Chain A
Amino acid sequence: MDRRKKREKTTVTKPSTVDAPLPPKISPSEAFIVTLSSVLGLGLAFYVANSGFSIDLVTDPSRTIFFIWLVELPIVILLYSRYRQNPRQCMCLVFVCHVQYLRAVGRGLLAVPIGALLNCLGAIALGAPVTFQFLPKTVNWSLMMSLFTTVPASCVLGSSWAHWKRIFAQTQPNGSVEYLICLPAHGAVIGGWFGAWPMPLDWERPWQEWPICVSYGAIGGYMVGLVASCVFVLARARSQHVKQT
């Protein structure tokens, strides 16, 4: 219901950027930090799973993915919430700033189950198994995908339907933070889509099971997206720098 209202509103006021101010621009170094910490988080999760519990994605996909999203959850939410919309008021009041930050974190936490549900439904529509033995794997995978796709957007954009539509339906990111949201999310989804293709092959490898190769594809796509968005931010900063001088 709420969504629909939003949609009607945006269709009436066509220039969608008017009703919701743009998120702040971030410097290439910040983008680099976000990318690096996300990638390092993934690495850390794999390391913990591998050395601490001697499992990996193939032997115990459910728990490994659990580690991944557990490690990524604070990194993504805490980092992206810093780039929330309207941080201008921060200048005046530190207290407001904190409240806003906490609200962004809250939005991010709220987006985790919602995004997981959306991802899960998409995966089931595309053919993910629905039996009980796959339930923990599917749940963990959906939570991971949620962190890759919806959570950053939710932290930064809040519930602004116009921004969501522009980034996810039209793929028109505007500004450096939006690149950091848009490209990794698309990368993760497209990577996961391609990752599903080896599943029917008769190679009889353990990694062909749901959701192992899909997760590999999604993680790969996510990282590519992160790196690409970093490059974009850098390139944009360069060109603006040239313009200013």
Chain B
Amino acid sequence: MKEREIEGAARRRKITGKWRYTWHLWVTLLLHIAAIVLFTRGFLLTRTELPHYSNSSDVSESQCLYSSSHNNTTTSSWTKPAVNRLIIIVLDALRFDFVAPSTFFPESKHWMDKLKVLKEVVSKSPTSAKIFKAIADPPTTSLQRLKGLTTGGLPTFVDVGNSFGAPAIVEDNFLNQLVQSGKKVVMMGDDTWTQLFPHHFERSYPYPSFNVKDLDTVDNGCIEHLFPSLYEDDWDVLISHFLGVDHAGHIFGVDSTQMTEKLEQYNSILEKVIEVLEKESGPGRLHENTLLVVMGDHGQTLNGDHGGGGAEEVETAIFAMSVKKPPSSVPVEYDTSSCQLDLDGKNVCVSSMQQLDFAVTMSALLGIPFPYGSIGQVNPELYALGAGSWNLDVSQQLSESDIWIQNYANILCINSWQVKRYIDAYSASSAVGFSSDDLSRVASVYAQAENHWLRSTKKLQLDKKDIDALVPALKKQIESYFNFLRTVAELARSKWTEFDLRMMGAGIAIMSISLMFQVLAILRANSQDGATLASSGYAWFFSASASAFFLLGMRAVSFLSNSFILEEGKVANFLLSTSGIVALRKSVVKGKLLKESVGFLLLSTFCRFGIEIGLSKQASTSAFMKEYTSWILNIASGLAVWNHAAEVVPILVLIILAFWLYKATSDIFFGWPRKIVVVCTILSYMLIIVHWITENNRYILAFMPESIGRIYIPRIVYAILLGQLLLLVFAQLFKGNSSDCKTNLVVKTTAMLSAWSSTVILLSGKQGPMVAFASIVGGYCIMRLCDIEDDAKNGPQRRLSIGPFPVMQWNLFATCLFFCSGHWCAFDGLHYGAAFIGFEEFMLVPQAIILTLDTYGFSIILPVFGLPFLVAMKYKADLGKHVLFTQLSQMYTTYGLITAIMTTFTIYCVTMHRRHLMVWGLFAPKFVFDVFGLLLTDVLICLASLYYFDQGKDGHNHN
């Protein structure tokens, strides 16, 4: 009774034509877009890099009293240099408790109090040396931190404007300003610096940083070059980056003898450095006015992890010591230090600062323009250590500290002006800038400070009369600048470092709703099947697909761990082989299709080797992955035979493919537009062969200029693809001559696949034909294995619907092809070279499309468009449109559901691990790849539904 009602409803809805089969696909697409947009807004913090640079002449635009106003106006500088030379010693992953005395902590651990020399210097001369607790901003990975330290900004995961692949910093930064001002920089240690600043160093001694197991190479290299350099005068800024503590933490943890040994070694190094500086500190000597800074770029947890925003990870230390003694210590208003007696009974004071303020404070001390994108404030305590910050050639009626305050107020004025300039420029040029509320708040705070400056402080300073009113006015001025800078920093932090959990939650909720919607859509289609076909409904659906659910579940759950994401290709292949074994078992039971199932198993074994070769590439290009080369296969390469084979075999395979395509299409009746499409594809294949032959100089043909082969042939292939797609759309307008719905579907699918195949093969390079061949074989096997469940004796009453198992296999196979063709889910896994096939210069839009085609060609585009084969091959007889289309739509929904479940688990994973060490190295790229893949799959499914579901007249055949 109920079934009849459903059938009646279905008939009534038939008026709406093909939409009744496909509307839920569009709804799914919309739900996914909404979910992903919401989640991404909350999770992927983005920031635009501005291409602007500060110039020393810019400061005249501000209303401030910059130092040039007192000298000649031609060479204006932002601030008066307070130190002449700067030594920055970076100790990677320096925890705060490595530096601060153990009495600052509730419990004394044996890794504390190892850097004794720093405490001794601080307690001996508190005016010229200071220990700061420096708070870093997440992500606390070395690369992001170095970027933050030098630009004075808050680098996020996606800094838009990043050059393709190369990590070099393009934003304005401290080092760039040093070079602009003619200062010479020497660097030794971690090679990340030379990656970030390839052209900034006068001399550099980089050492590889990726081998975590090696505790000493980088450090020994640093020591070797540090001490001779201290006696040289050919540099202004020296940077020495030690990695031992970071590596010791990663391998052995903080609570280990290796760690204490490293810290003791550093203690002796620092002792020697300070000794040298003090020896050379006399007037006219090398280090008369040098500032020594010993700092960490981030902290680490007790296990040695870092990357997230935990207190142990963000708390690091900065020790600063001025060789030339400043006359007094910072005025008490600006002193944040707290003092404790250490174990030896000496009084040690520790202040606190934000790492964000480092770049601008150093710039102010050296008297160079502040980096354009810096949003930090000049830290008063650190600035006060510079001896030069104390004397200014104004009236000497003021006391020392009042002069300093006046000086500091002037610097803050420039500081605030520069930050305001950046905020304005950022919101003017960035697509996702700050909200107008926030902007107006910042503007009003700034206007207030600026007002006060123009009305009273500036006048009082210039007049130099009303001394009594000046100091309170200056103090008030500093207060209002502090207020402004704090507001900006808060705003920037909320925008660039904090995940918006509400947005992320909303995204996850919508994603879950979409999953339920898809499941309901499948069940609904199934119940319709129940009405029209012989099937037993839900119970059958669940029992027949237990193995598919199991595979899906294992794969989805594997995404919750970083290790399985790293080895995703192997996991997918493991499951693919398992599904092959399950299929083999079934085929043994049924006693048929043995060849296909064995073939499928063999193919998945071949895939496995392909994936391992791909993973070994990944390991060699990415330093981060170096650790995980556990199972890598070593292939004997370098034989000449291999080289020849590598050139000839792809061409041969491509010829075989073309021949096969010709044979396959000559049998079935094709309409003339589709015939043209297939012929064009064969032509494209030939062009690709010519392209490859001309690529190798040996075979170059004399009568053809090189550029034709290299540039024009790929472009012709792209043009043919466009033409083919247009032709297929055009062919849609004509009704297929054959009334046979099934043949029609096969013809359409073949035409579509052949149209895409040429471009995808071209972009994949020499491996393309092999992967294409493998995908044809694999697709054929899955197709044939589809009807393993059916028993021929069941006759017309046999079960017609296809369970999710073949679709799951199809999906797993597509995933394996992604990894087989040498891709992996990281940005260095993109084949940037493919984007330049047919293009000489960089053009964003066409090359982004080409890169997408290369990345997802075999894993999404071809599988999605090829899915109708599964349905078409299933039926020997033509059962009419309704059955076919119900099946097809169900199949597409299942495919979409599988992809969506994977993506949902990736989303759960990044939500859970958002403070994980590898979130930016591993989870976030995986998230971007998956989300992009899901949207592409959805869009393609919708397009495919437009293409494959047509309003033929044979709609009533099934009755």
> Taking beta carbons and an 8 Å cutoff, which residues of A are in contact with B?
7, 10-11, 122, 124-127, 129-131, 165, 168-170, 193, 196, 199-202, 210
- A170 to B573: give the CA distance in the assembly, Å: 25
Set A7, A126, A165, A201: member contacting B578, Cβ < 8 A: A126
Which B residues lie within 8 Å of A193 (CB)?
578
Knowing A11-B591, A170-B589 are in contact, say whether A126-B633 is a contact too (CB < 8 A). Answer: no
- Is residue B839 contacting chain A, with contact meaning CB distance below 8 A? no
**If A131-B633, A131-B634, A201-B561 touch, does A125 touch B589 (CB 8 Å cutoff)?**
no
Give the docked Cα–Cα distance between A194 and B140 (Å).
36
- Distance of A174 Cα from B879 Cα, bound (Å): 41
Distance of A234 from chain B, by nearest CB (Å): 28
- Do the beta carbons of A125 and B601 come within 8 Å of each other? yes
Contact yes or no, B570 A125, CB < 8 A? no
Inter-chain CA distance A196–B631, complex, in Å, is: 13
When A and B form their complex, which 10 residue pairs have the shortest distance between CB atoms, in order from nearest? A200-B567, A169-B588, A125-B605, A201-B563, A125-B577, A202-B563, A169-B589, A200-B563, A126-B577, A169-B585
User: Is the CB–CB distance between A125 and B580 below 8 Å?
Assistant: yes
- Tell me, in angstroms, the Cα distance from A127 to B608 when the chains sit together: 7
Q: In the assembly, what is the distance between CA of A129 and CA of B633, in Å?
A: 7
Q: Known contacts A129-B633, A131-B633, A199-B631; can you find 18 more A-B pairs with CB under 8 A?
A: A7-B591, A124-B608, A125-B601, A125-B602, A125-B604, A125-B605, A125-B608, A126-B574, A129-B631, A168-B588, A169-B588, A170-B589, A200-B563, A200-B571, A201-B564, A202-B562, A202-B627, A202-B628
CB-CB under 8 A from B608, the residues of chain A are 124-127
B574 pairs with A127, CB closer than 8 A: yes
Q: How many angstroms between the C-alpha atoms of A127 and B819 in the bound complex?
A: 14
- Can you list 8 A-B pairs with a CB-CB distance of less than 8 A? A11-B591, A125-B577, A125-B604, A126-B578, A127-B570, A127-B577, A129-B633, A202-B563
Residue of A nearest to B561 (CB): A201
B566 interfacial by beta-carbon distance below 8 Å: yes
Is A165's CB under 8 angstroms from B588's CB? Answer: yes
**B656-680 interface code vs A (CB 8 A; 1 in, 0 out):** 0000000000000000000000000
Most chain B CB within 10 A, of A131, A165, A202, is at A202
Answer whether residue B581 sits at the interface, using C-beta atoms and an 8 A cutoff. yes
**Inside 8 A of A130's CB, which chain B residues have their CB?**
633
Number of cross-chain contacts by CB at 8 Å: 56
Instruction: For A199, list chain B residues within 8 Å (CB).
Output: 631
Residues of B within 8 A of A10 (CB): 591
The residues in B between 571 and 614 inclusive whose CB is less than 8 angstroms from any CB of A are 571, 573-574, 577-578, 580-581, 585-586, 588-589, 591, 601-602, 604-605, 608
* Cα–Cα, bound, A170→B580 (Å): 16
User: Closest Cβ of chain A: how far from B117's Cβ, in Å?
Assistant: 35
* Minimum Cβ distance to chain A for residue B739 (Å): 38
Q: A126: which B residues are within 8 A, CB to CB? A: 574, 577-578, 608
Q: Which residue of A lies closest to B612 (CB)?
A: A127
* Distance (whole angstroms) from the CB of A204 to the closest CB of chain B: 9
Q: Note all chain A residues with C-beta closer than 8 A to B581.
A: 122, 125
| Contact status A200-B585, CB under 8 Å | no
Query: Across the interface, which residues of A come within 8 angstroms of B585, CB to CB?
Result: 168-169
A10 CA to B590 CA, complexed, in Å: 11
Q: In the assembled complex, which residues on chain A have CB atoms less than 8 Å from the CB atom of B601?
A: 125
Distance of A10 Cα from B589 Cα, bound (Å): 11
Closest A residue by C-beta to B589: A169
Nearest-Cβ distance from residue B656 to partner chain A, whole angstroms: 25
Q: In the complex, A196→B571 CA distance in Å?
A: 10
**A-side contacts of B631, CB under 8 Å:** 127, 129, 199, 210
Alpha-carbon distance between A225 and B577 when the two chains are bound, in angstroms: 24
Smallest distance from the beta carbon of B256 to chain A beta carbons, Å? 15
The CA of A10 and the CA of B580, in the complex, are separated in Å by 24
| A127, A129, A201: most-surrounded residue (chain B CB, <10 A) | A127
Bound CA–CA A124/B633 (angstroms):
13
Closest to A124 in B: B605
B601 to chain A, nearest CB (A): 6
Contact across chains for B589 and A165 when beta carbons are under 8 A apart? yes
Contacts of A170 in B (CB 8 A): 589
Within 8 A of A (CB), among B126-174: none
Task: Indicate if the CB atoms of A200 and B564 lie closer than 8 Å.
Answer: yes
- Which of chain A's residues has its CB closest to B609's CB? A130
Chain B residues closer than 8 Å to A124, beta-carbon distance: 605, 608
| Nearest neighbor of A7 in chain B, beta-carbon distance | B591
- Once bound together, how far apart are the Cα atoms of A202 and B601, in whole Å? 28
Complex formed: what's the CA distance from A126 to B608 in Å?
8
Cα(A129)–Cα(B634), bound, Å: 10
Which residues on the B side are within 8 Å of A129 (C-beta)? 631, 633
Most buried by A among B567, B574, B628: B574
Question: CB-CB < 8 A to B586: which residues of A?
Answer: 169
- Complexed CA–CA distance, A196 and B573 (Å): 13
Q: Is the CB of B588 within 8 A of A127?
A: no
Give every chain B residue within 8 A of A165 (Cβ-Cβ): 588-589
**Least Cβ distance of B793 to chain A in Å?**
11
Docked Cα-Cα span, A201 to B588, in Å, equals 35
| Chain B: minimal CB distance from A61 (Å) | 15
Q: Which B residues are CB-close (under 8 A) to A210?
A: 631
Give B580's nearest chain A residue, CB to CB: A125
Cα-based distance from A125 to B576 in the complex (angstroms)? 9
Within 8 A of A (CB), among B553-568: 561-564, 566-567
The docked-state distance in angstroms from the alpha carbon of A169 to that of B581 is 10
CB neighbours (8 Å) of B562 from chain A are: 202
Residues of B within 8 A of A200 (CB): 563-564, 566-567, 570-571
Closest chain A residue to B611 by CB distance? A127
Smallest CB separation, A212 vs chain B (Å):
13
Among residues of B, the one whose C-beta sits closest to the C-beta of A189 is B581
Q: Return the chain A residue nearest B554 by Cβ.
A: A197
Inter-chain CA distance A131–B605, complex, in Å, is 15
Which residue of chain B has its CB nearest to the CB of A134?
A: B631
Task: Tell me the complex Cα distance, A193–B571, Å.
Answer: 12
> Which one, A7, A11, A127, A201, contacts B573 given CB within 8 A?
A127
Complex Cα distance A210/B570, Å?
14
Cα–Cα, bound, A126→B577 (Å): 6
Min Cβ gap B567→A in Å is: 4
Q: In the complex, A169 Cα to B564 Cα: how many Å? A: 30
Q: Complex: how many Å from CA A6 to CA B602?
A: 24
- For the complex, give the distance between the alpha carbons of A11 and B567 in Å: 43
Residues of A within 8 A of B634 (CB): 131
Q: How far is the CB of B213 from chain A (nearest CB, A)?
A: 11
Chain B residue nearest in CB terms to A3: B594
Complex CA gap A200/B577 in Å reads: 17
Q: With A11-B591, A201-B561 as given contacts, are A196 and B574 in contact (CB-CB < 8 Å)?
A: yes
Most chain B beta-carbon contacts within 10 A, residue among A124, A126, A131: A126
Q: Which residues of B contact A201 (CB under 8 A)?
A: 561, 563-564
- Once the chains are docked, how many angstroms separate the CA of A200 from the CA of B562? 10
A11 vs B571: C-alpha distance when bound (angstroms): 37
Q: Which residues of chain B come closer than 8 Å to A122, judged between CB atoms?
A: 581
Chain A residues near B628 (CB-CB < 8 A): 202
Choose among B585, B586, B602 the residue with the greatest number of A CB atoms under 10 Å from its CB. B585
When distances are taken between beta carbons in the complex, the residues of chain B under 8 Å from A7 are 591
Closest to A208 in B: B630
Query: Contact string, B345-373, partner A, CB cutoff 8 A, digits 1/0?
Result: 00000000000000000000000000000
Distance A17 CA – B570 CA, assembled complex (angstroms)? 41
Distance between A245 CB and nearest chain B CB, rounded to angstroms: 37
A74 to chain B minimum Cβ distance, whole angstroms, is 30
Q: How many Å lie between the Cα of A196 and that of B567 in the bound state?
A: 13
- Cα A89 to Cα B118 in complex, Å, equals 93
Rounded to whole angstroms, the CA-CA distance of A201 and B560 in the bound complex is: 11
Docked Cα-Cα span, A199 to B574, in Å, equals 12
CA distance A193 to B578 in the complex (A): 9
Bound-state CA distance A133–B601 (Å) is 25
Query: Which residues of chain B from 637 to 652 have any CB-CB distance to chain A below 8 Å in the complex?
Result: none
In the complex, what distance in Å separates the CA atom of A165 from the CA atom of B633?
A: 35
A122 to chain B, nearest CB (A): 7
Rounded to whole Å, the gap between the CB of A107 and the closest CB of chain B is 21
**Residue on A nearest B568 in the bound complex, by CB:** A200
